[in-house]
């Protein structure tokens, strides 16, 4: 009797060939869950996803693990009780009725990207500070270079004693802070809400073992707020490298523009380096280009732009003090395995009646 499915049913919809070992690991650990894997298109076209997944599958599932393929409406998945996202963010589904009109828990894969993104941040920062673009051009032209201090690659400033400002102290920011501190940098943290106690400073999400800042002990100071006055107070703190790692929300769209770049770099007297691995729209891109061209900023490393892909005629491509990569800082061979680890952790916690990790708080947008 009753209207629900006889057992738990999980649907995994990802744009890849089935990772058999990982799926079998879940089946072995949770034999009471009937798991189906569907290789779907890597697309934002909802109609395409709907054509790839029959309506009867949506109707019976209780658990969904996906990147962006969602049931067309809440009515099409009446038994769905948990949505696990393959991505670190949820902004790409924030207009879907399952997000806006239900209270079904949504979790993300936040926490799995810290190691590879931190390496990208440090790599691009060193490319800038060690003048590697110039050195690479010398190598391509088979030239040894000049043995005099007038060459720009003789004016290297190491990271020791520099100040790293982490705008968004989540899992990614914490791992960048860990590596930055190991290189001798002082770290300042910025979060949306205050973290006045040791308990509030803890990272309660998924943590790759041996990484990050689990107890929040690395920053020498914490700042917080979503208002401009609080942001400006943070940017005034003699920051040499600013990492942008906040989620994109209505409050953070164009969070950084002309005024913020001037405050950060003291009107160009102390040009800072900006690294953006979050979302392109957090930065006013026209203002960023102007600041990079007039010396307000010393340079930028951009894994995200506005729009994406970056148009061929964008000035950013040809600015000598800019490094552009095609939104790849988070990719890595361990990505899928770690994303499955997050799902596995939450299924375990769910069975024990414990709270889930990486739960999206819809009221704040992430």
**Using CA atoms, how far apart are residues 244 and 165, in angstroms rounded to an integer?**
9
Which of 308, 348, 351, 354 is an active site residue?
308
Q: Decide: helix, strand or coil at residue 145.
A: coil
Which of 327, 344, 350, 362 is an active site residue?
327
Phi, then psi, of 303 in degrees rounded to 5: -95, -10
Which of 9, 96, 178, 279 is an active site residue?
279
- The C-alpha angle 106, 231, 201, rounded to 5 degrees, equals 50
Burial class of residue 49, CB neighbours in 10 A (0-12, 13-18, 19+): buried
Contacts of 362 (CB under 8 A, 6+ apart): 99, 106
Structure-block tokens of residue 225: 């707020």
**Using CA atoms, how far apart are residues 78 and 84, in angstroms rounded to an integer?**
17
Q: Decide: helix, strand or coil at residue 225.
A: coil
Task: Report CA 133 to chain centroid distance, whole Å.
Answer: 26
Is 279 noted as a catalytic residue in this protein? yes
The residue behind tokens 């990492």 is 243
**H-assigned helices in 268-334:** 285-293
- Which residues does the annotation mark as catalytic? 279, 308, 327
């Amino acid at each position: 009797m009753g209207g629900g499915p006889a057992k738990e049913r999980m649907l995994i919809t990802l744009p890849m060939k089935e990772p058999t070992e990982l799926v079998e690991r879940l089946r072995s650990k949770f034999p009471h869950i009937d798991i189906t894997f569907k290789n779907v298109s890597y697309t934002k076209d909802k109609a395409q996803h709907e054509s790839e997944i029959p309506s009867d599958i949506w109707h019976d599932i209780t658990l969904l693990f996906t990147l962006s393929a969602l049931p067309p409406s809440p009515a099409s998945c009446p038994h769905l009780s948990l949505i696990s996202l393959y991505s670190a963010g949820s902004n790409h589904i924030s207009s879907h009725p399952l997000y806006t009109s239900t209270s079904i828990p949504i979790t993300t894969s936040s926490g799995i990207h810290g190691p590879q993104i931190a390496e990208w941040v440090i790599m691009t920062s060193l490319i800038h500070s060690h003048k590697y673009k110039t050195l690479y051009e010398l190598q391509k032209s088979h030239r040894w270079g000049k043995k005099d201090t007038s060459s720009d690659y003789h004016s290297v400033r190491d990271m020791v004693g520099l100040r790293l400002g982490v705008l968004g102290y989540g899992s990614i920011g914490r791992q960048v802070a860990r590596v930055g501190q190991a290189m001798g940098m002082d770290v300042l943290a910025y979060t949306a809400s205050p973290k006045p106690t040791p308990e509030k400073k803890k990272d309660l999400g998924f943590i790759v073992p041996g990484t990050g800042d689990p107890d929040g002990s690395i920053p020498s100071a914490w700042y917080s707020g979503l208002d401009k006055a609080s942001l400006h107070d943070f940017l005034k703190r003699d920051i040499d490298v600013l990492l942008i790692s906040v989620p994109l929300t209505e409050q953070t769209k164009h969070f950084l523009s002309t005024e913020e770049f001037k405050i950060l770099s003291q009107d160009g007297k102390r040009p800072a380096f900006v690294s953006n691995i979050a979302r392109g729209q957090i930065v006013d891109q026209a203002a960023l280009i102007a600041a990079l061209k007039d010396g307000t900023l010393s340079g930028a490393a951009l894994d995200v732009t506005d729009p994406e892909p970056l148009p061929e005629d964008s000035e950013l491509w040809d600015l000598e003090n800019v490094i552009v990569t095609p939104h790849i800082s988070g990719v890595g061979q361990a990505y899928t395995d770690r994303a499955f680890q997050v799902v596995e952790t939450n299924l375990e916690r769910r069975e024990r009646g414990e709270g889930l990790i990486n739960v999206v708080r819809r009221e704040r947008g992430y």
